[in-house]
Amino acid sequence: QVRLLESGGGSAQAGGTLRLSCVASGDSGSRGCMGWFRRVPGQARAGVGVIDRDGNTRYTDSVKGRFTVSKDNGKNTLYLQMNSLQPEDTGTYYCAAKVVCRLAGDVWYADALTTWGQGTLVTVSS
């Protein structure tokens, strides 16, 4: 059983910065990736970025160069550093554990076994 507690959402101006945190407890099982997903207005929930046990990361194209996924294993904490925020980044962001990942092939996605945080709202204004 994995439990995720997410924090750090809020409002920012375009060009600004936010940092999201997710504290994980319990057993994540055999899957090696955690990540961040978001639901933006008018769209389904989609991946933002993931990180594997070795610290390798992958990102959706729209956030490359602006967002960084990292983790602190000692604190069991996952982070999403969001720089150069744009209005299109507005949405609800979810921490995820048990993400399916085959990063050598740039494949990563959530499925029915993925567990989720409660979500935190990020609003970016022009």
pLDDT band at 31 (very low <50, low <70, confident <90, very high): low
* Model pLDDT for residues 68-118, shown as the tens digit of each residue: 999 998 899 999 999 999 999 999 999 999 999 999 999 999 999 999 999
Length of the chain: 126
Pairing of strands 10-13, 120-125: parallel
d(CA 39, CA 41): 7
User: Can you give the pLDDT at residue 30?
Assistant: 58
pLDDT band at 1 (very low <50, low <70, confident <90, very high): confident
d(CA 13, CA 74): 32
43 DSSP assignment: S
Strand, helix or coil at 62? Answer: helix
d(CA 8, CA 42): 23
Nearest to 22 by CA among 111, 124, 97, 100: 97
Assess whether pLDDT exceeds 90 at residue 45. yes
